[in-house]
Amino acid sequence: MRVGELFRDEVSMNCYYLGERDQAHASWVLFERAKAGPKHIRNPELPPVMYQFFGPQPEGEMRMKPEYLPLCCKKCGRYDEDAVFEVGFTEPVSIRIKGDFSHTQDRVFVVSEKFLSLVREAKVRGYETKPIGASGWHALRATNRVDCADGVLKPAEPYCPLCGRSDGAVGEFERISELSVPSDGNTFFTTSINWHRRLWDRDIFITEDVVAALKDAGIKGGYCNRLWTHEEVRTAEEKAKQGKKWKPPGSTLLL
């Protein structure tokens, strides 16, 4: 068995990594604007669509809301997603997400009312939510925590001398044998261990029946990458030796 592969490769269902599309505008839940940024002056000679390629208007000076400050390391400022979830989420918030789900700039995974209604109706397990003020959006965290193989994600230095958190992590989960996937379907799941990365702490995974429910309901905002089997990885490696790139057909589903 390869380094980083510790769990069974033969499972009764497919499991997927839930990925999200890049967002044109920043969204904030834990932070609030302390000072407005410079006004974005538009050139009347350019059509409005051109500004979509120049990036969002500067956000200005953002500061963390007082209720979350005690959760932050006094040295590096990092915080744990679970801890802020327990506090809850109040106004003011700024959510400008295109689609039904994404992470905010301050690493909160948020879903639309449509997304939440769908997973409730489908009786999906393994998650909990809290409303985000009166925005109509909801913070969601996966509560079905599973073991994962060592070495798949590697913490990046430097480590904070006070709290010990790393400066992110590199790597990604691609193989089903890298995770102790749930034996039952219709669930969200994630890793027991967390890494303080730039955009989120933990990856979010879903079983194939959840993927089907999201697609059937027209949920938008990202993609689902199926975790590969050992045979598929071996096929990709053999193709790579021949100078060819290969991935299992149909392993990526767009939402």
Q: Rounded to the nearest 10 degrees, what angle do helices 208-216 and 113-121 cross at?
A: 130
The one-letter amino acid at 153: L
pLDDT one digit per residue (tens) for the chain, 255 residues: 344 555 655 567 899 999 999 999 999 999 998 776 555 555 555 455 434 444 444 566 789 999 999 999 999 898 999 999 999 999 999 999 999 999 999 999 999 999 999 999 999 999 999 999 999 999 999 999 999 999 898 888 888 999 998 888 888 999 999 999 998 899 999 999 888 777 888 999 999 999 999 999 999 999 999 999 989 989 999 999 999 999 999 999 999
> In the chain, what are the domain boundaries?
15-246
- Separation between Cα atoms, residue 83 and residue 71, nearest integer Å: 7
Per-residue model confidence (pLDDT) at position 41: 53
Per-residue tokens: 181:
């996937």
Cα–Cα nearest to 214, from 74, 136, 120: 120
Task: Please enumerate in sequence order all residues whose Cβ is within 8 A of that of 199, keeping only pairs 6 or more positions apart, or say none.
Answer: 103, 107
Residue 174: how many CB atoms within 10 A of its CB? 18
Contact 203, 20 (CB under 8 A): no
